[in-house]
Homo-oligomer: A and B are copies of this chain.
């Protein structure tokens, strides 16, 4: 199995220089400017995704398995390009497995990383040769043993609070003592407990924030080995940040620091990473339109700016104003003022930024084109099927 793994470790020899973000932006602008779009559209630069993949792979170091968290953006063009470069895929469902296979990924390059699986999806994965599954509960191990007998499993552990911009909920993972019990249980069921996984939280901008979590994981790891389990895979999940305005490290530098922290604790174990946002967010730019600029009353200090895209058609990640997207307008450079921003639907929850208004040009008006930067992740897939008669976000991959 290790041979199969090593057959698709990141191809460092093929590493290319990473396109600087300014270059990606100017390439996207070059495509967008002068073109007419009849509805909100995400334009995604495939080369930028591939370059980011190589940067993360190079940073994390020789032997790292990168499994793209395709939920961030499963555009077939992106999946094909990543598969061709040797990237693996983390799938959460039969639907995602089918997409990865269709993109040319072999079963050995696909992990079924969801801890909540339909039994029929497990059987589907097993029938297609997929051999690596996540679990965090006994009942899940029972399902895997029944539908993918003899498979490799890694146990997801619930780690304490980290310094991520958006710490995760307690949804995934089990307590450390339970993880050890589950290793025993997996072996008893004829499965092969090969490792551990965790997730530091999305947008963890400081690589130092990984240390505590890695210490906790190493403790469980050594306890598991002491119990006789041949652990050889440490899955560090995602958390690689994208640039939304707050400073982040350059991708390769960031990955290098995280890789060093991991190797200091896990030696020659196989390291797996599951970047999603970190690979695709900065590669995309949404083209949208201003539908209305107004004030609620004459003495209103804030203007309201309504776009033709909102929470239900691509910008769901503005929820709780977590992500502060950056905007480009035709009037940039002119005088600005505070704006509350909202989407086009008849839903009062479809407000993008209200707690912390966005400063936009005073000259902005209905009909203006507006570009939304770093929107390659969690936009097309979070779109509703067509709430209020507005179609889902369109996508063009260049």
Contacts and interface: CB of A to CB of B under 8 A. Distances in A.
B351 A169 contact: yes
Interface in A340-354: 340, 342, 344-351, 354
A349 B93 CA distance: 17
B92 A388 contact: yes
A308 interface: yes
B387 A384 contact: no
Interface in A341-398: 342, 344-351, 354, 365-367, 380-392
Interface string A275-308: 0000000000000000111111110100010101
A91 B381 contact: no
Nearest to A390: B93
A136 to B, nearest CB: 7
Contacts of A367: 119
A71 interface: yes
Is the contact region of chain A dominated by helix, strand, or loop, or is it mixed? loop
Interface string A80-117: 00000000001111111111000000000000011111
Contacts of A383: 384-385
Interface in A163-219: 168-175, 177-178, 181, 199
B139 A365 contact: yes
Nearest to A96: B389
A140 interface: yes
Contacts of A349: 169, 319
A63 B165 CA distance: 54
A1 to B, nearest CB: 24
A174 B69 contact: no
Identical copies of this chain, number: 2
> Which of A91, A308, A347, A365 lies at the interface centre, i.e. has the most chain B CB atoms within 10 A of its CB?
A347
Given A171-B351, A348-B172, A294 B140 contact: yes
Interface string A47-91: 000000000000000000000010100100000000000000011
A324 interface: no
Interface residues of A, number: 80
A265 B294 CA distance: 30
Contact of A169 (B312, B354, B382): B354
A366 B139 CA distance: 8
A143 interface: yes
A138 interface: yes
B386 A177 contact: no
Interface in A138-154: 138-140, 143
Contacts of A181: 298
Contacts of A136: 294
B95 A391 contact: yes
A24 interface: no
A382 B381 CA distance: 13
A367 B169 CA distance: 24
Contact of A69 (B295, B346, B390): B346
A375 B93 CA distance: 25
A137 interface: yes
A69 B348 CA distance: 14
A178 B139 contact: no
A308 B177 CA distance: 28
B381 A387 contact: yes
Contacts of A46: none
17 contacts: A93-B388, A93-B390, A116-B342, A116-B344, A118-B308, A119-B366, A137-B294, A138-B294, A139-B365, A168-B348, A169-B348, A171-B350, A174-B296, A319-B319, A381-B388, A382-B384, A384-B384
| Nearest 3 interchain pairs by C-beta | A95-B389, A137-B294, A175-B297
Given A99-B389, A169-B348, 5 more contacts: A170-B296, A175-B300, A178-B297, A381-B388, A385-B392
